[in-house]
Structure 1
């Protein structure tokens, strides 16, 4: 399967998980193509000052890999600034949030896989 950039589905999600602003998500792999392994493989784009609110993962886990910008991540109460090349993982049962604290769009790969244990 090959998809050109203009064939990838783009979502605009306002106030995601109680966050600020509208998050854009470029869906790289759609649900019907992931063989039941997860529910998200995409690029998330958060505008300056925007965020995804605090939320818990139950039955799955999420990984972010920062591509562009500057993020403030809260990982179970541990706040850290992440920049391009950094990653974070929210394990099953844990909670996290992310905020764009930079001066340009924050872009990162987001992958949510199911916990099969």
Structure 2
């Protein structure tokens, strides 16, 4: 199956999961997974959230993403991937003056 994000309407989300600023997202969603091509604007962040019945992987395509994972802070750069296993908490932010573009996959485990 080919997923063409150019053919999926872009959502413009303010304060994603209780965070701040703007996130633009194109999402493919079915009963198996949520697959998102997203752009996090400078200064924007998500809210802190836990993955229950799922996990999340975030692959950075451009920019630099700061991730708060449990009690650590990680900087994820181009070509790197952040993994948040089931039952863990994370939130992320763009601390730079450039957009961060990433691909995120959140499968349904149950």
User: What is the TM-score of this pair, normalised by structure 2?
Assistant: 0.90
Unmatched tracts of structure 1, length 5 or more: none
Deviations 1:35-81 (A, max 9, x none): x212x102111100001111001111111000111111011111011
Count, aligned residues: 109
Which structure is larger by alpha-carbon Rg, 1 or 2? 1
> 1:41 maps to which residue?
35
The answer to whether the 8 Å contact 1:69/1:103 transfers is no
List structure 1 runs of 4+ shifted beyond 4 angstroms. Answer: 1-4
Shift of 1:4: 7.2
1:95 paired with 2:94, answer: no
> Deviations for 1:8-30, whole angstroms, at most 9, x for unmatched residues?
12111110111111211012x23
Asked if the contact 2:55–2:85 (Cα under 8 Å) also holds between the matched residues in 1, the reply is yes
Equivalent-residue separation in structure 1 for 2:49 and 2:5 (angstroms): 32
Task: Give TM-score, length-normalised by structure 1.
Answer: 0.85
Q: What residue is the counterpart of 2:29 in the other structure? A: 30
* Structure 2: gaps spanning 5 or more residues: none
2:69 is aligned with 1:68? no
